[in-house]
A = this chain, B = another copy of it.
Amino acid sequence: MTPTNSRRERPAKPALSREWIIAETIAIARRDGLDRATMRRVAQALDTGQSSLYVYVANTAELHTAVLDELVGSALPESGAPVASGAWRSDLEALLASYADVLFAFPGLARAALVLTPTGPNMLRLHDRLIGLMIDGGIEPARAAWGATLLVQNVTASAAEHSTPTSTDIDAPGDPDADWSALTDAVRSADPAVAPHLAAQADAVLSGTPAQRSTWMIGVLLAGIASTPVPGGTIS
């Protein structure tokens, strides 16, 4: 209502707040990738000075962590419906898949997640659900507790490998196509004298779709978690 003549016909400059900053960062990240969602750009989009952001967020890393947490929150299914016995495993896979979907949906998010320390409430809820589902599956609680980290870490890492880099840049570092072909070339041209096993297994190394590898990976982790006791020895 106040007759502020905001630039560019913005629908009236909203009051600055942590929530608004995060929302705008998400908007930019969706469009241009998280790498482009810099303090300066976010400030500009909010029609304010970059220094103003520091009233609400500590620094870029903290802002990006908050963005990750917010997005994970929006992907988490509402509070856990009771798990039909036997369904824990497919529920767990679905949960990890929706986490992976978020990472894929925002260019640059997976790579950032790899390097951020995610302590937001939604990330904790994700861990909580994973632990709960593993316990439902008969996995010893202490192993489930450690295992959740392992699951999240691996899903994040494989999303980072296959997700879009940051934008429309040609040959951006981290371009998955370029990376993949660099890898195939390297493996295919491995010298059997220096890397005999790799040369012999080249087809195996390069085989499988991302989905197949991801399914296998989760299977590996769950089987390993179920069969490997945590040190200190609770009754297994």
* Residues of A that sit less than 8 Å from B by CB: 59-62, 111, 114-115, 117, 119-121, 124-125, 127-129, 131-132, 135, 141-142, 144-150, 153-154, 157, 160-161, 173-174, 179, 182-183, 185-187, 190, 194-198, 200-201, 204-205, 207-208, 212-213, 215-217, 219-225, 227-228, 230-232
Inter-chain contact B117/A114, CB cutoff 8 Å: no
The residues of B that contact A160 with a CB separation of less than 8 Å are 114-115
The number of times this chain is found in the oligomer is 2
A148 and chain B: residue at smallest CB distance: B205
Please provide the 3 A-B residue pairs with the shortest distance between their CB atoms, ordered closest to farther.
A224-B224, A220-B224, A61-B173
Inter-chain contact A194/B121, CB cutoff 8 Å: yes
Inter-chain contact B142/A195, CB cutoff 8 Å: no
Inter-chain contact B230/A216, CB cutoff 8 Å: yes
Q: How far is the CB of A210 from chain B (nearest CB, A)?
A: 12
Inter-chain contact B128/A204, CB cutoff 8 Å: no
Choose one: B59, B61, B223; the contact of A224 (CB below 8 Å): B223
Choose one: B173, B185, B186, B220; the contact of A150 (CB below 8 Å): B220
Q: How far is the CB of A191 from chain B (nearest CB, A)?
A: 8
**With A114-B114, A198-B124 given, is the CB distance from A153 to B157 under 8 Å?**
yes
A174 and chain B: residue at smallest CB distance: B115
Choose one: B111, B127, B150, B186; the contact of A198 (CB below 8 Å): B127
The residues of B that contact A213 with a CB separation of less than 8 Å are 146
Inter-chain contact B228/A195, CB cutoff 8 Å: no
Inter-chain contact A145/B204, CB cutoff 8 Å: yes
Q: How far is the CB of A174 from chain B (nearest CB, A)?
A: 7
**With A114-B157, A186-B119, A197-B131 given, is the CB distance from A223 to B219 under 8 Å?**
no
The residues of B that contact A215 with a CB separation of less than 8 Å are 231
**With A216-B146, A224-B222, A227-B227 given, is the CB distance from A125 to B194 under 8 Å?**
yes
The residues of B that contact A125 with a CB separation of less than 8 Å are 194-195
A156 and chain B: residue at smallest CB distance: B157
**With A194-B125, A197-B128 given, is the CB distance from A219 to B224 under 8 Å?**
yes
